[in-house]
Structure 1
Amino acid sequence: MRSDALQRRETILRTARELFAQHGANVAMDVIAERSNVGIGTLYRNFAARPELVEEVTVTTLQEILDAAHKAQADLSTDQHAWSNFLDQLVNLNLGALSEALGTALPSTLSTRVLTVQRQCAIAVSEVLEAAKGFNLVRADLNGVELITVIGAATRPLGRAFKDQAPQLQERLVAIMLDGLKPENTTALPVEKSL
């Protein structure tokens, strides 16, 4: 694929991911094309139908998680910020909003391609998590599924009333979530005894 065609395809994927996260996976294909600054024909030459685009956005997102996990694991021994950088990357992927949108758009039986990268991603996240535990950067009782689930929950879209009343609430919830992953939070809180 020519470099300009590849760049257009990447722009379409990036734009589709943003729109899916904001509006759900049923956003009109012509809106995706318009926001990507390409014609509808170009969009359909790259992705013949919505399911194909949804699958590619899913695979691309999982690949970004996989790449971030590999980088964090490679960097952890020399850079203690690698763990927090990894968490920031996961948060910035807007996994909660995206998984909500894609979860309803993906077929009930996932393709081998999605399952393969999903499996690789789960292994890589677990490996970087275990490495971070070895450096005492994260609580020892956390597993990879819990990590992704917590980040997904913290980045789920908030209702309009919340956004209007507390515009910084999403960032605050993410900060609270990230604080909860720190190792000092693994000790149980003392229980008050009644007199």
Structure 2
Amino acid sequence: MRTDALQRRETILRTARELFAQYGANVAMDTIAERSNVGIGTLYRNFAARPELVEEVTVTTLQEILDAAHLARENLAQEPRAWSKFLEQLVRLDLGALSEAFGGALPATLNERVLTVQRECAQAVNRVLEQAKDQQLVRRDLNGVELVTAIGAATRPLPRAFKNQTPQLQERLVQIMLDGFKA
């Protein structure tokens, strides 16, 4: 794939993820194309249908978790702050908003490509979590599923009334949750 075409595809994926997190997986394909600064034809040349785009955003997000876990593992021995950076990266991925958006958009049976990346991701998260436990950076009774589920729950969109009344509430709740992970 040409460099410019690859950059457009990456822009579409990044924009789609942001829009899915903000508005749900049923956001109009026209809106995704417009916000990506591409024509609708370019969007459909890259992703023939919405399920294909949703799947690719899912794989890309899982790959980002996997990359973050690998980086944390590499740096954790020399830099204990690598654990906090890893958690911050997971929070920035808007896992809660995406899981809510994809609840009905992903097929009931995931294809092998998604399942493979999902398994690799779970293993990598568990490895970095065990390393953090060994360095007494995180409570010993926390497991990988609980970690990712808690971050997902804390990053789910809040009802508008809460957001309007207390604009920093979600950030505060995330920080309380992250503090609760500490050893």
The TM-score with structure 1 as length reference comes to 0.93
SS of the equivalent of 1:105 reads coil
SS of the equivalent of 1:5 reads helix
Map 1:43-192 onto structure 2 (within 5 A): 43-183=43-183
Deviation at 1:167, TM superposition (A): 0.4
Unmatched segments (≥5 aa) in structure 1 = 184-195
Deviation at 1:150, TM superposition (A): 0.4
How far apart, CA to CA, are the structure 1 residues paired with 2:150 and 2:156?
10
How far apart, CA to CA, are the structure 2 residues paired with 1:32 and 1:64?
21
Deviation at 1:102, TM superposition (A): 1.3
Task: Read off the aligned partner of 2:145 and give its amino acid letter.
Answer: V
SS of the equivalent of 1:119 reads helix
- Structure 2 residue 16 is the aligned partner of structure 1 residue 16: yes
Q: How many residues align?
A: 183
Unmatched segments (≥5 aa) in structure 2 = none
SS of the equivalent of 2:139 reads coil
Larger Rg belongs to = 1
Task: Read off the aligned partner of 2:87 and give its amino acid letter.
Answer: L
Task: Read off the aligned partner of 1:29 and give its amino acid letter.
Answer: M
Query: What is the aligned-residue RMSD (CA, Å)?
Result: 0.4
Task: Read off the aligned partner of 2:14 and give its amino acid letter.
Answer: R
SS of the equivalent of 2:104 reads helix
How far apart, CA to CA, are the structure 2 residues paired with 1:103 and 1:123?
23
Deviation at 1:103, TM superposition (A): 2.2
The TM-score with structure 2 as length reference comes to 0.99
